[in-house]
Chain A
Amino acid sequence: KQEVTQIPAALSVPEGENLVLNCSFTDSAIYNLQWFRQDPGKGLTSLLLIQSSQREQTSGRLNASLDKSSGRSTLYIAASQPGDSATYLCAPETSGSRLTFGEGTQLTVNP
């Protein structure tokens, strides 16, 4: 059974700082991994999908890396902005398009 852990649970940083969110998963037999953001009271917005054969995926100020064999992924956010404040969730995909979610990292970027 896949288990996903995200560290830290919460993070507060000043605007402009670069930061790294960590995700680890117990079953390395994944097909891909998605990073999402969730704003309070809202649904999930997909940020990046990284395939199991890839090591990295980039979108704007976001960069996700994947080390499938060690069961780890990181989300790097460059030059953070107050608008980046949200909860960030990672979700590896296993068979049957099954996503397993971590509990998330709650990010606050202070102006």
Chain B
Amino acid sequence: DTAVSQTPKYLVTQMGNDKSIKCEQNLGHDTMYWYKQDSKKFLKIMFSYNNKELIINETVPNRFSPKSPDKAHLNLHINSLELGDSAVYFCASSQDLRRGYEQYFGPGTRLTVT
């Protein structure tokens, strides 16, 4: 029973392309997140959504556009990919925005831009 799933697991693409990563959670949570883990293994939040509404947008280039068609899904679209976008992207969810709830992470999508 997968709680937070992401597709694809691996993504290799060339500079300048546009790509999307999908995330789904079956936990009934209201809040979802995207995190980026760079080559130094440092994890940073990019976005959070609550009930399909953008809550956090953490100074991410506007080439990155999250989309939440419903509260169980949060997709990440990246335009004009650059070498520096190579990283592992993690989706996460929590019950809601109120304090005190654990965040549950997906397995990650390793993006390599060549």
Contacts and interface: CB of A to CB of B under 8 A. Distances in A.
B31 A43 contact: no
Nearest to A44: B105
Given A97-B31, A101-B42, A103-B42, A32 B108 contact: no
Nearest to A87: B41
B69 to A, nearest CB: 21
Given A98-B45, A101-B44, A103-B42, A46 B56 contact: no
A31 interface: yes
B41 A32 contact: no
A100 B42 CA distance: 10
Given A44-B92, A97-B94, A97-B103, 11 more contacts: A32-B100, A34-B102, A43-B90, A49-B102, A51-B100, A91-B43, A96-B56, A97-B48, A99-B45, A99-B103, A101-B44
